[in-house]
Structure 1
Amino acid sequence: MKYLFYIFSFLILFKPAFPVIEYLVNYDYISRVLCINKDKPQLQCDGKCYLMKQLAKNASDERDKDKTERRNKVETPFVFVLKEENILPIIEEVESHEKFTFYQNFYKKTIHFKLLRPPMYVLNS
């Protein structure tokens, strides 16, 4: 299962580099057959036009994918309704107390100074 995750993450990470890898592996075929400028050797294209076309295609596919994902997301507003008649008695009750008696301090010191003292003597070997 772990290896499947690694393979999947590797594919996602290097997906933009696949057209470049394909160009490097199939360089001869692309430069001889798929190159648009093969009849103009002075340009020294050697299939780079095909590579640029593939990179542009992948970039546009990703942009289209992002746009469709944004369209599919629907924002739903969160509405919170609170009735005033329930709040007013609580506010009046709190205002009637001069001192808050329900507060308790649960803080305790966690540092023990007995543990932080230096040793009393030094062992000589």
Structure 2
Amino acid sequence: MRAALAYILLIATLLPLFSQWGTIAYYHANRDYIAKVLCENRAKPELHCDGQCFLAKKLTAQQEQQDKATTEQVQKTPDFQLFYQSNLPFLFQPVVIAQTTVLPAYLPGSYSSPQDSLFQPPQV
């Protein structure tokens, strides 16, 4: 059952690809009728059209119909915006969580390392 459903969906999906082949197959199957009745150049046998004008018109009309359907589908497709970029500049406002007290021992310049007396550059 699943295989049959898969084949039906596959054929339904690929059917538009084979529509031009169907038109060409119809032309080859009914070439005599098309050449005698439907051909525009049947009064001019020296052109040897044999209904190719009919085939060209059908294929052109079919292509235009597919293009129109594709254009309509594209226009009707909804737009999904995945990202939003604001044009406003980023305004950073710092948030003060708590006031801290700075002890005088940790002020810059008040700390001296005990290694300052040991490691000194050579004097020339």
| TM-score above 0.5 | yes
| Aligned-pair CA distance for 1:80 | 6.8
Larger radius of gyration: 2
Structure 2: distance between partners of 1:71 and 1:10: 22
Question: 1:78-89 residue pairs with structure 2 within 5 A?
Answer: 78-79=83-84
Q: 1:79 corresponds to which letter in structure 2?
A: Y
The equivalent residue for 1:58 is 62
SS of 1:14's equivalent in the other structure is helix
RMSD: 3.0
Residues 35 and 8 from structure 1, CA distance in 2 versus in 1: closer, same or farther, beyond 3 angstroms? Answer: same
Number of residue-to-residue matches in the alignment: 89
Structure 1: distance between partners of 2:42 and 2:55: 14
Deviation >6 Å, runs of 4+ = none
The equivalent residue for 1:73 is 77
Q: TM-score, normalised by structure 2?
A: 0.58
Structure 2: distance between partners of 1:55 and 1:76: 35
Q: Which one of the candidate residues 8, 12, 25 is aligned to 2:12?
A: 8
Identity of aligned residues (%): 29
The equivalent residue for 2:49 is 45
Question: 1:22-37 residue pairs with structure 2 within 5 A?
Answer: 22-37=26-41
Give unmatched runs, 5+ long, in structure 1: 90-125
Residues 72 and 21 from structure 1, CA distance in 2 versus in 1: closer, same or farther, beyond 3 angstroms? Answer: same
Structure 1: distance between partners of 2:7 and 2:49: 40
Q: TM-score, normalised by structure 1?
A: 0.57
